[in-house]
């Protein structure tokens, strides 16, 4: 935890996780006691080999995975408590999936406006104005009436990102957002994410894009076997890794 306190980034703690454990069928331990903090405005990138639990921890943050034990606090509220209003909390945490998960039976515009209209009670006009503005920012305003099946992978993921943004979340969670994309489309999605980070959005990103991690992350968390092995600034993790496993992982990904 020492690295967290050394951070220069200012701001209050927005997500706090203490000793989170997750096991399936009591034999498979995906998370074996993870504690971390995310501050407002911070971009945290979680890296690690597959099966290390990085997706599980991200999905636990908005309780798409129910942890076996441990606590998660979001804006000071214990969201693992059964009294927590999950639906309200999830509105404040946007999530972007590897497989985009756009709603195939709705147009791009409908995809983006349904949640604000039904949950934030915006009028159709308000929601659509907001959606169009966001689509313009990601260069997809002309595809507002298209259906997801008519979009390329990169376009789909950009829509997925602005769909989450329509709810004006306090935190954005990205679960390997570029892993399902063809290589030539990775750039356009990362570009959107970089812009989002620059605008001060708090972001937790699970990714294999080491270039992106190095450029955008305020802090990198390296996970392996359901534990946080090392965390620190990009320079600390990539250039001067302390742990053998981190070193091995960085060497392997940089040689690719």
Partner 1 sequence: MSKKKVIIIAAAAVLLIAGVLFVLFVSVGGNKKSREIAVEEAENLIKSTFDAAAVSKPLEAISQKYSFKVNSLEYGNEKDIIAECEISSVRVAEVIRNNYSSFLSSDVKKLNGLMYKSALDFKIEFEKKLTELVDTAEGFSETRNIRIYDTEDRGLVVYTDDDLVDTVYGGIITVIDEIGGIESYQTVEDGKTVEKKIESTNVKKGLIQAISPRYDPTVPDTSNALGRWWNGVKKDFVNNFIMYDRWTTIFKGLAVTIELTVLALLIGIIIGFAVAFVRCTHDCRPKNGPLISVLNAVSKVYLTVIRGTPVVVQIMIIYFVIFMPLRVNKFLSAVICFGLNSGAYVAEIVRGGIMSVDAGQSEAGRSLGFSYAATMTYIIFPQAFKAVLPALANEFVVLLKETSIAFYIGLGDLMYAGNAIRAATYSPFMPLVAVALIYLVMVVGLSNLVGRLEKKLRSSDR
Binding site for partner 1 (CB under 8 A): 62, 64, 66, 82, 87-88, 90-91, 93-95, 97, 99, 101-105, 114-115, 118-119, 149, 163-164, 167, 173
Read off the tokens for 175.
């679960």
Q: Where are the beta strands (DSSP E) in 170-218?
A: 171-175, 202-206
**Smallest gap, in angstroms, from Cβ of residue 211 to partner 1?**
27
Between 110 and 194, whose beta carbon lies closer to partner 1?
110
**Smallest gap, in angstroms, from Cβ of residue 237 to partner 1?**
28
Give the single-character DSSP code of 53: S
C-alpha 187/C-alpha 196 separation (Å) is 14
Between 155 and 246, whose beta carbon lies closer to partner 1?
155
Between 65 and 218, whose beta carbon lies closer to partner 1?
65
Between 69 and 243, whose beta carbon lies closer to partner 1?
69
Q: Which residues contact 3 (CB under 8 A, 6 or more apart)?
A: 219, 231, 232, 233, 236
The partner residues of 37 in beta bridges, in order of sequence, read: 16
19-55 burial, b if ≥16 CB within 10 A, otherwise e? Answer: ebbbeeeeeebbbeebebbbbbbbbbbbbbbeebbbb
Q: Judging by beta carbons within 10 Å of its beta carbon (0-12, 13-18, 19+), is residue 92 exposed, middle or buried?
A: middle
**Smallest gap, in angstroms, from Cβ of residue 149 to partner 1?**
5
**Smallest gap, in angstroms, from Cβ of residue 97 to partner 1?**
6
**Smallest gap, in angstroms, from Cβ of residue 167 to partner 1?**
6
Give the single-character DSSP code of 8: -
Between 167 and 253, whose beta carbon lies closer to partner 1?
167
Between 153 and 232, whose beta carbon lies closer to partner 1?
153
**Smallest gap, in angstroms, from Cβ of residue 142 to partner 1?**
20
Greatest extent of the chain over all pairs of C-alpha atoms, in Å: 55
Between 91 and 178, whose beta carbon lies closer to partner 1?
91
Q: What are phi and psi of 37, to 5 degrees?
A: -135, 145
**Smallest gap, in angstroms, from Cβ of residue 203 to partner 1?**
15
């Amino acid at each position: 935890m020492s690295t967290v306190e050394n951070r220069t980034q200012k701001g209050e703690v927005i997500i706090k996780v203490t000793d989170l454990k997750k096991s399936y069928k009591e034999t498979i331990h995906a998370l074996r006691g993870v504690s971390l903090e995310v501050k407002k405005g911070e971009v945290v990138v979680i890296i690690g080999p597959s099966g290390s639990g990085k997706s599980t921890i991200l999905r636990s943050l908005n309780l798409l995975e129910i942890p076996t034990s441990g606590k998660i606090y979001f804006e000071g509220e214990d969201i693992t408590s059964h009294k927590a209003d999950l639906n309200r909390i999830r509105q404040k945490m946007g999530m972007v999936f590897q497989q985009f998960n756009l709603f195939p039976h709705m147009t791009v515009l409908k995809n983006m406006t349904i949640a604000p209209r039904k949950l934030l009670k915006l009028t159709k006009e308000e929601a659509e104005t907001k959606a169009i503005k966001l689509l313009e920012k990601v260069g997809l305003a002309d595809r507002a009436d298209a259906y997801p099946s008519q979009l390329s992978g990169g376009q789909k993921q950009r829509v997925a990102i602005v769909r989450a943004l329509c709810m004006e979340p306090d935190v954005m969670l990205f679960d390997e957002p570029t892993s399902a994309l063809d290589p030539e489309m990775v750039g356009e999605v990362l570009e959107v994410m970089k812009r989002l980070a620059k605008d001060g959005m708090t972001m937790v990103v699970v990714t294999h894009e080491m270039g992106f991690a190095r450029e955008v992350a305020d802090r990198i968390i390296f996970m392996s076997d359901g534990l946080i092995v090392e965390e620190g600034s990009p320079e600390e993790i990539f250039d001067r890794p302390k742990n053998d496993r981190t070193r091995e992982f960085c060497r392997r990904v940089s040689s690719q």
